[in-house]
Amino acid sequence: MSKEILTLKNVSKTFGDGDTSTTVLKNISFALQQGEFIAIVGPSGSGKSTLLSIIGALLTSSSGNVVINSKNISTYRPKQLSSVRLENIGFIFQSAHLVPYLTVKDQLMLISDISKKNKKENSKRATDFLQHLGLSHRLQTYPNKLSGGEKQRVAIARALMNDPDIILADEPTASLDSARGKQVVELISHEVKSRNKAAIMVTHDERVLHVCDRVLHIEDGKIIEK
Ligand SMILES: Nc1ncnc2c1ncn2[C@@H]1O[C@H](COP(=O)(O)OP(=O)(O)OP(=O)(O)O)[C@@H](O)[C@H]1O
Ligand SMILES: [Mg+2]
């Protein structure tokens, strides 16, 4: 049975105030089910990253509700939002954003240090994820020795470390060639389907859209489902 994991109701976002204010998102509503992988596409400046940041509890909306796992995070204070980020959300960005002075394995352990779970268990979890992503020979490698595709796979493993309900990816294939890009998207899809998660990917890359269940088009701050 599918379960609604995320609901947006009339979410709007305005930056600034008075004469200089701009409304970037206008009454956005949609829902995401467990096991669903959706793509968001739209022109540059249409509000895609802003939307992802609001869903990921990095930014608050100006009005409307964002409900994650039955919790209305729109009413949350900053401290509560940071625990939502840690417990419910896994982020993957355009460039992998790895910490330069940590090895591949430690990039993942950092997340578990923050969430203070069982260290031994997490170490095994990190090793398993990296092995699953074909990186077992890279555990002690630093980011500057990794290829673009390897870095992005580490970023994916890191995003999955805290067992998030929702994976958010902002142009995860932008720095990759088409074969690597396809791999990364298939990996996200596999994670969503096999572990009953949900994912939203912002992308400009038409070649990977077929992997997603639905494509939401955003234009001028509004969603149009084609
Ligand atoms: N902190 C901010 N303050 C003011 N304006 C902002 C802020 N963040 C984003 N904007 C504006 O909001 C609009 C949407 O930005 P956003 O980054 O969400 O677009 P996008 O769809 O992700 O674009 P791209 O495809 O280029 O990444 C842009 O006009 C941008 O200038
Ligand atoms: Mg963007």
Nearest CA to ligand 1 atom 30: 45
Cβ within 8 Å of residue 46, ≥6 positions away: 218, 219, 220, 221
Length of the chain: 226
The DSSP 8-state label assigned to residue 137 in this structure reads G
The CA distance from 171 to 206, in Å, is 12
Q: pLDDT for 77-110, tens place per residue?
A: 999 999 999 899 999 988 878 989 999 999 998 8
Q: What is the pLDDT of the chain when averaged over all its residues?
A: 91
49: confidence class by pLDDT, cuts 50, 70, 90: very high
Task: Output 96 or 38, whichever has higher pLDDT.
Answer: 38
The CA distance from 21 to 198, in Å, is 33
Tell me if residue 222 falls in helix, strand or coil. Answer: strand
225: confidence class by pLDDT, cuts 50, 70, 90: low
Q: Domain of 160?
A: 4-225
Q: pLDDT for 133-159, tens place per residue?
A: 889 999 999 999 999 889 989 998 999
What spacing in Å lies between the alpha carbon of 28 and ligand 2's midpoint?
Answer: 17
CATH number of the CATH domain containing 166: 3.40.50.300
Indicate which ligand has the atom closest to the C-alpha of 44.
1
The reported pLDDT for the residue numbered 115 is 64
The reported pLDDT for the residue numbered 133 is 82
State the total domains in the chain.
1
